[in-house]
């Protein structure tokens, strides 16, 4: 455990966390603590069916739906003195919801791995909607919650966050919609901005100086393109051409971007894996050669459906290293006899962090100064830190696709340098 000399209370906490870390082997403090496409409907939930955790927004019709679910006192995990709320959509439209259950299971696994002696999790069902999230947050705070973990959807985060901030509580939420991030409302999710910045940085390190972009006309595409332009500008890279496409699948846009292939040495495509077969075919037919231009994407490509496409052989994308999630998934399957959804690690890391912080001396267990420490934390999906505006920065690897599998061509950083 790396220690940074700061206040005595923080150093003391770092030593206390070392005992937790020896049991966990997963989340540890590395700082002074001693520590996807837009989701438009239920079918687009991260980690389910066509969904993906590496998203750019996560609104669902349930954000504005129905009466809130009844809050049930006594649904708790752990037995510690510090109370923390876990707000997850255990139901949606009145029916059990597998995403919420997987997040709860991951929280339970974190409690089991850490011993659960410093916190009691107050588990509340949001029903997937803003009204349910607001009611759940109010109930949890009335029951003494000192911090809120969750909710998942953007409207739910906005509703619960308003309640929590009004009571002076911090929130660690799972939405990918950065419009709901704010001071003391932190997003632990996989943000497209991090993936774009990492892959552009990798391209620059390989001497690429001119990037073309083929971008879908959707929320994810808008966010990715905006970050591409900023990341390229910071590194002195020219944007050679940008083509957008909609419901036509990109065939016409592929023809247009192919005409600019001679003026670019990299091509960025922030598209979901399920849409990439058509894009791959269109670009190959238009004459784009992946051996002549570096094809780049985001974590959306960390999907078996992308691994054998002709266009993507040799392509690169940014994503967490897979080893952490794989180890987590093995333990999850052993305990629950089923696979976790991909974003289950968010609940696991948030709860593990809460357990560690709850062991601090002093009345305030989750101060801003600790949650936004610039050295960050290391979780199941690698290094992360919260910015003061509520967004996050993650330490990501760059993976290269080759004949159905991936290899790491640039490892994830083990520490952050400078402020976020």
Residue 35 lies in a domain: no
CB contact at 8 A, 265 and 234:
no
Residue 212 lies in a domain: yes
Residue 255 lies in a domain: yes
Same domain, 86 and 105: yes
By residue count, the chain amounts to: 420
Give 333's contacts (C-beta < 8 A, 6+ positions apart).
Answer: 339, 340
d(CA 347, CA 77): 13
Closest CA to 96 of 123, 131, 118, 127: 127
Q: Which position has the higher pLDDT, 23 or 321?
A: 321
DSSP output for 356-397: HHHTSSSS-SS-HHHHT-TT-EEETTEEEEE-TTS-EEE--E
Same domain, 183 and 261: no
d(CA 34, CA 158): 32
Q: Containing domain of residue 286, as a range? A: 193-319+401-408
Same domain, 204 and 336: no
Same domain, 107 and 78: yes
CB contact at 8 A, 103 and 347:
yes
Check the CA dihedral 237-240-246-252 and report its sign: negative
Q: 43: burial class by Cβ within 10 Å (0-12, 13-18, 19+)?
A: exposed
Same domain, 337 and 268: no
The pLDDT > 70 percentage for the chain reads 82
Mean pLDDT of 27-52: 35
Identify the CATH number of the domain in which residue 173 sits: 3.40.50.2300
The pLDDT > 90 percentage for the chain reads 78
Residue 22 lies in a domain: no
CB contact at 8 A, 208 and 232:
no
Query: Given strand 405-410, what is the order of strands in its sheet?
Result: 238-245, 210-216, 266-268, 294-297, 316-319, 397-402, 405-410
CB contact at 8 A, 220 and 37:
yes
What pLDDT is recorded for position 11? Answer: 33
What pLDDT is recorded for position 268? Answer: 98
Residue 127 lies in a domain: yes
Task: For helices 154-166 and 130-142, give the axis angle rounded to 10 degrees.
Answer: 30
Same domain, 140 and 168: yes
Domain count, the chain: 2
| CA dihedral angle for residue 49, residue 52, residue 58, residue 61, rounded to 10 degrees | -10
Strand partners, 185: 171, 182
Same domain, 237 and 310: yes
Same domain, 74 and 174: yes
Residue 83 lies in a domain: yes
- In this predicted model, what pLDDT tens digit does every residue of 367-399 receive, in sequence order? 999 999 999 999 999 999 999 999 999 999 999
The yes-or-no verdict on residue 34 having pLDDT over 50 is no
Same domain, 335 and 373: yes
Residue 72 lies in a domain: yes
The yes-or-no verdict on residue 5 having pLDDT over 60 is no
Same domain, 140 and 182: yes
The yes-or-no verdict on residue 46 having pLDDT over 60 is no
- In this predicted model, what pLDDT tens digit does every residue of 56-80 receive, in sequence order? 446 554 454 445 555 444 499 999 9
Check the CA dihedral 130-339-57-253 and report its sign: negative
CB contact at 8 A, 301 and 396:
no
Residue 102 lies in a domain: yes
- Using the structure block, give the residue that is written with the tokens 């620059």: 204
Phi, psi angle pair for 315, to nearest 5° = -70, 160
Mean pLDDT of 131-137: 97
Six-digit token string for 335: 């305990």
d(CA 50, CA 241): 29
- CA-only gyration radius of the chain, Å: 21
What pLDDT is recorded for position 132? Answer: 96
Same domain, 257 and 300: yes
d(CA 217, CA 308): 25
CB contact at 8 A, 289 and 264:
no
Mean pLDDT of 313-334: 96
Q: Which position has the higher pLDDT, 89 or 71?
A: 89
Same domain, 89 and 109: yes
What pLDDT is recorded for position 317? Answer: 98
**Average pLDDT over all residues of the chain:** 86
């Amino acid at each position: 455990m790396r220690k940074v000399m700061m206040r005595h209370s923080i150093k003391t906490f770092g030593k206390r966390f070392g005992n937790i870390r020896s049991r966990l082997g997963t989340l540890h403090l590395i700082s002074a603590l001693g520590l996807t496409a837009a989701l438009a409907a239920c079918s687009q939930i991260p980690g389910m069916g066509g969904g993906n955790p590496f998203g750019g927004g996560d609104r669902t019709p349930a954000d504005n739906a129905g009466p809130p679910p009844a809050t049930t006192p006594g649904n708790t995990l752990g037995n510690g003195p510090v109370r923390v709320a876990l707000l997850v959509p255990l139901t949606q439209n009145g029916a059990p919801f597998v995403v919420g259950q997987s997040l709860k299971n991951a929280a339970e696994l974190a409690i089991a791995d850490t011993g659960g002696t410093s916190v009691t999790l107050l588990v509340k069902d949001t029903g997937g909607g803003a009204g349910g999230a607001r009611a759940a947050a109010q109930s949890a705070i009335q029951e003494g919650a000192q911090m809120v973990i969750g909710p998942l959807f953007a409207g739910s985060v906005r509703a619960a966050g308003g309640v929590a901030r009004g009571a002076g509580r911090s929130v660690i939420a799972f939405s990918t919609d950065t419009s709901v991030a704010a001071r003391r409302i932190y997003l632990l999710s996989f943000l497209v901005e991090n993936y774009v910045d990492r892959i552009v940085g990798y391209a620059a390190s390989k001497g690429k100086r001119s990037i073309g972009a083929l971008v879908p006309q959707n929320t994810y595409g808008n966010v990715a393109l905006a970050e591409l332009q900023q990341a390229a500008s910071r590194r002195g890279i020219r944007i050679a051409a940008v083509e957008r496409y909609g419901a036509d699948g990109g065939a016409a846009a592929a023809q247009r971007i192919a005409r600019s292939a001679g003026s670019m040495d990299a091509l960025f495509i922030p598209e979901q894996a399920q849409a990439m077969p058509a894009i791959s075919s269109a670009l190959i037919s238009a004459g784009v050669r992946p051996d002549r231009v570096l094809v780049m994407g985001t974590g959306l490509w960390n999907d078996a459906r992308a691994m054998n496409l002709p266009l993507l052989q040799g392509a690169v994308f940014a994503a967490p290293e897979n080893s952490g999630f794989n180890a987590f998934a093995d333990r999850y399957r052993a305990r629950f006899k089923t696979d976790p959804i991909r974003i289950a690690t968010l609940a696991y890391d948030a709860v593990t962090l809460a357990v560690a912080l709850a062991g601090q001396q002093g009345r305030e267990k989750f101060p801003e100064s600790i949650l936004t420490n610039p050295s960050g934390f290391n979780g199941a999906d690698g290094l992360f830190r919260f910015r003061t505006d509520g967004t996050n920065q993650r330490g990501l690897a760059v993976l290269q696709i080759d004949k159905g599998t991936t290899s790491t061509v640039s490892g994830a950083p083990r520490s952050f340098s400078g402020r976020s």
